[in-house]
Structure 1
Amino acid sequence: MVHRIIEWSLRNRFIVLVLTAALFVWGFLSVRKNPIDAIPDLSENQVIVFTEWMGRAPQLIEDQITYPLVTNLQGMPRIKYVRGTSMFGMSFIYVIFEDDVDIYWARSRVLERLSTISQTLPQGVTPQLGPDGTGVGHILWYTLDAPGLDLGEQRAVQDWYVKFALQNVPGVSEIASFGGFQKQYSITLDPNKLLYYKLPVTSVINAVRTNNNESGGRKFEMSEIGYIIKTSGYLQSIEQIQNIPIKNVGGVPVRIADVATVQMTGETRLGIFDQNGEGERVGGIVVMRYGENADKVIDAVKKKMNEIAKGLPEGAKFDIVYDRGELIKDSISSIKRTLIEEMIVVSLIVIIFLFHWRSALSIVIQIPITLAISFILLNAFGISSNIMSLTGIALAIGVIVDNGIIMSENAYKHLAERYALWQKEQKNKTI
């Protein structure tokens, strides 16, 4: 079979050259389309289910949420195993699928199963899917350098301005905020005053809940003009919360301010984010989607940051803490430099030792053609250009050159034998 291929190639040199040129052009275009990353994505094909039930102990979370979810999610098709973790107020379920399963098909099946499981969970508990990102999807970390704002204001800018803007960048799955204080109204009840006015805690909760509401009426037309009737009842300040009536005692309303203290506080935190020992910072983590080009996503995020920076409060700016783009550029440039150096060194050695430019050219020309064709296969199997894949290509250059040298030497040997035989025949004819 090999002999027939060689024979056909020798008889159809023009076709072989055209096919080789076409493969080289295809490979060159594949190099530009191949996704670039610093490290290969070896994470499992998983879907994360996150459930929050604040104030509950880990054992209660395990019994009421984690165990029912794990047992019900195990029966899905093409699943490998399900892992569950319970902690204070939170439950995490990791559903691991087979490697060849499409991640969005897997997420739809998990979401489909959760729609039936939710009825068996405690009231008010709603499981939700985690971001469609991998374990190595954290491509960029940033903080807000805003000396003129307190931590609560910085977190508000991050959650209500920066986060929503960066989530619109193509390829970004989620912007995970960290640090600072999430502002909230805190109502601290005085048990002695509740006992004096004979008020249960539920009465205070219901009073706040019913007074923080907005309801609609109907459309009223007068003089050919339509008016929408509605009531605006959303609480907007501490004073409004303090003036909410709870009950009436002898014609005098008992307000929230009479039995509790209302103040603006931050949500309870389990840790802080300190940067370079200079104090707390507020920021976010950019999580990339499955199968995206990390280099392009990072460039798009940075471009969007330049646009967002124009709308930040005066004196505030972005401070990039971790940027995988720099690691990608350094690692890829190092591998490229190594490849070029290997190609030059191998070419010189081949030319020096063979000392036959046509043989050396046939060997050297195999290197760029083989490298270009290898990127066609990388794209076909969904492998990105990273340290591992490019290092493998660099190591394979020796095999490519070695094969070319063996073939050239073998061809040269047979040609020399045939030439010696031809000279002997010519000598015999002369005699």
Structure 2
Amino acid sequence: MVHQLIAWSLKNRFIVLMLATVLLAWGIFAVKQNPIDAIPDLSENQVIVFTEWMGRGPQLIEDQITYPLVTNLQGLPRIKYVRGTSMFGMSFIYVIFNDDVDIYWARSRVLEKLSTISRSLPAGATPQLGPDGTGVGHILWYTLDAPQMDLGEQRALQDWYVKFALQNVEGVSEIASFGGFQKQYQVTVNPNKLLYYRLSVADVINAIRNNNNESGGRKFELSDIGYIIKTSGYLQSIEEIENIPVTTQKSIPIRVADVATVQMTGESRLGIFDKDGAGERVGGIVVMRYGENAAAVIDRIKVKMQEVAKGFPEGVTFDIVYDRGELISESISSIKKTLIEEMIVVSLVVLVFLFHWRSALSIIIQIPITIAISFILLNAFGISSNIMSLTGIALAIGVIVDNGIIMSENAYKHLAEKYERWQESSLKEERT
């Protein structure tokens, strides 16, 4: 088989050269299309389900949420196993699928299952799917450099302006906000006053909830003009909450202010984000979508940041604290430099030791063609250009050259033997 292939190649040199040219051009195109990242994605093919049930202990979360979810999700098709974690106010379920399963098919199966499980969970506990990213999806961290704004204003700017703008970038799965204070109205109930007025905490909660609502009316016409009636009942200030009546006793309304203190404050925090010991910062984490090109997504994020920064208040700027793009560029440039150096050294060694330019040229040409073909295979198997894959290509150059040298020496040996036999036969013919 090998002899027939070699013989066919020798007889059809033009076709072989054309095939090599086509593969080289295809490989160059594959190099441009191959996703670039600094580190390989070795994470499992998983779907994360998280459930918030704030104020509950880990044991209650385990019994009421984590255990029912784990037992029901185990029946999904093509899964390896299901892991669950319970903590204060939160439940995390990790559904690990087989490696050949499409991630979005897996997410749709989990979502279908959750639609039937949710009815058996406690009121107020709604399972949600995590972002469609991987364990190495955190590609960029940024903070807001806003010395003239307090942490609450910075967090509001991040949550209601920056986050929504950056989430629209192609390839971004989620913008996770961190730091600062999330503003909220807090109602601190006085238990002694509740006892005095013979009220409960549930009465105060229901009164506030029922008075923070809008209801629609109807449309009516007057003098050939149509009017739409609606009520505006959403609470907009501390005073409005304080004046909400909880109940009436002896024709006297008992307001929220009579039994509680209302104030604007921040949500309770479990930690802070500090930058270089110079104070707290507010920012976000850019999570890349599954299977995207990290370098391209980072470039698009930076372009979008320039557009978003135009709408910032005066004195507010972006401060990038982690950028995988720098690591990617440094890693790729280092590998490219190594590849070029290896190709030059190998070419010189081949020329010096073979001392036959045609044989050396045939071996040297194999290097770029083989590297180009390897990127075709990388794209076919969904492997990105990273430190591991490019290092493997760099190490394979030696094998490529060894094979070329062995084939050249073998061909030279057979040609030399054939030339000797031809010389012997010609001498015999002269003698005769």
Q: Same fold (TM over 0.5)?
A: yes
What residue is the counterpart of 2:197 in the other structure? 197
What residue is the counterpart of 2:176 in the other structure? 176
Distance in 1, matches of 2:223 and 2:34, equals 66
Q: Does 1:126 align with 2:122?
A: no
Q: Does 1:318 align with 2:318?
A: yes
Q: Does 1:140 align with 2:140?
A: yes
* 3-state DSSP of counterpart to 2:176: strand
State the shift of 1:228 in Å.
Answer: 1.2
Distance in 2, matches of 1:192 and 1:62, equals 35
1:327-360: CA deviations, max 9, x gaps?
Answer: 0000011001000000000001101111111010
Q: Does 1:374 align with 2:371?
A: no
* 3-state DSSP of counterpart to 1:365: helix
Distance in 2, matches of 1:223 and 1:329, equals 70
Distance in 2, matches of 1:6 and 1:178, equals 64
What residue is the counterpart of 1:7 in the other structure? 7
What residue is the counterpart of 1:152 in the other structure? 152
Distance in 2, matches of 1:222 and 1:384, equals 67
Q: Does 1:59 align with 2:59?
A: yes
* 3-state DSSP of counterpart to 2:131: coil
The 5-angstrom pairing of residues 199-214 of structure 1 reads: 199-214=199-214
Q: Does 1:407 align with 2:404?
A: no
The 5-angstrom pairing of residues 21-100 of structure 1 reads: 21-100=21-100
Distance in 2, matches of 1:54 and 1:97, equals 29
Counterpart residue type for residue 402 of structure 2: D
State the shift of 1:251 in Å.
Answer: 3.0
Distance in 1, matches of 2:159 and 2:425, equals 90
| Structure-1-length-normalised TM-score | 0.99
Distance in 1, matches of 2:225 and 2:4, equals 89
1:275-334: CA deviations, max 9, x gaps?
Answer: 100111111100011100000000000110000001112101110011000000000110
1:246-298: CA deviations, max 9, x gaps?
Answer: 22233332211111111011111111111100111111100011100000000
Distance in 2, matches of 1:376 and 1:223, equals 74
State the shift of 1:224 in Å.
Answer: 2.5
Distance in 1, matches of 2:223 and 2:12, equals 90
Distance in 2, matches of 1:113 and 1:414, equals 68
Distance in 2, matches of 1:76 and 1:254, equals 53
The 5-angstrom pairing of residues 211-222 of structure 1 reads: 211-222=211-222
The 5-angstrom pairing of residues 224-303 of structure 1 reads: 224-303=224-303
CA RMSD in angstroms, aligned pairs only: 0.9
Counterpart residue type for residue 315 of structure 2: G
* 3-state DSSP of counterpart to 1:96: strand
Counterpart residue type for residue 19 of structure 1: L
State the shift of 1:413 in Å.
Answer: 1.1
State the shift of 1:430 in Å.
Answer: 2.4
Structure 2 unmatched runs, 5+: none
The 5-angstrom pairing of residues 416-427 of structure 1 reads: 416-427=416-427
What residue is the counterpart of 1:347 in the other structure? 347
Distance in 1, matches of 2:194 and 2:312, equals 45
State the shift of 1:119 in Å.
Answer: 1.1
1:384-403: CA deviations, max 9, x gaps?
Answer: 00000000000000000000
Counterpart residue type for residue 179 of structure 2: G
The 5-angstrom pairing of residues 326-365 of structure 1 reads: 326-365=326-365
Distance in 1, matches of 2:157 and 2:224, equals 43
Answer with 244-253 or 382-391: which moved more. Answer: 244-253
Counterpart residue type for residue 172 of structure 1: V
What residue is the counterpart of 2:430 in the other structure? 430
Distance in 1, matches of 2:350 and 2:429, equals 39
Q: Does 1:117 align with 2:130?
A: no
State the shift of 1:425 in Å.
Answer: 2.2
Q: How many residue pairs were aligned?
A: 431
State the shift of 1:429 in Å.
Answer: 2.4
